[in-house]
Amino acid sequence: MQITDIKIRKLFEGGPMKAVVSVTFDGQLAVHDIKVINARERFFIVMPSRKNPDETFRDIVHPINAQFRTMLESAVIAAYEEALAAEAASAEALAEDEAKAEPAKEPDPDPII
């Protein structure tokens, strides 16, 4: 099974949840609401889950083995880091454009003293 697309649906700045992601496998199966979490100085993913009547959570979908989980987690975190870099570059370009667009203030030719 190959990951054919990763979409960063939403980025978050505060708190441990950093992103919500959708992943497409083999161009035929999409898994939504995978969360990127930052805790204890590392990133990891949390699979989509639902709350049971007894207040516990159960994964809706999850990797069956550690090898696939590692591959999925690495790909999702790499896509998250790329999205962060793209967002930072976009913000920097916007700031530069705004700085260029501001008209230069000319000195007052007749200052009142």
The tens digit of pLDDT for each residue in 59-78 reads 999 999 999 999 999 999 99
Beta-bridged to residue 62, according to DSSP, are none
Q: What is the CA radius of gyration of the chain?
A: 22
- Structural domains in the chain, sorted by start: 3-100 (3.30.1120.40)
pLDDT given for residue 30 in this prediction: 96
Backbone angles phi, psi at 7, to 5 degrees: -115, 125
| pLDDT tens, per residue, the chain with 113 residues | 899 999 999 999 989 999 999 999 999 999 999 999 999 999 999 999 999 999 999 999 999 999 999 999 999 999 999 999 998 888 777 777 667 766 656 666 666 66
Residue written as token pair 């989980």 = 69
Count of Cβ atoms closer than 10 Å to residue 8 Cβ: 19
The helix/strand/coil state of 77 is: helix
Cβ(101)–Cβ(67) below 8 Å: no
pTM of the model: 0.78
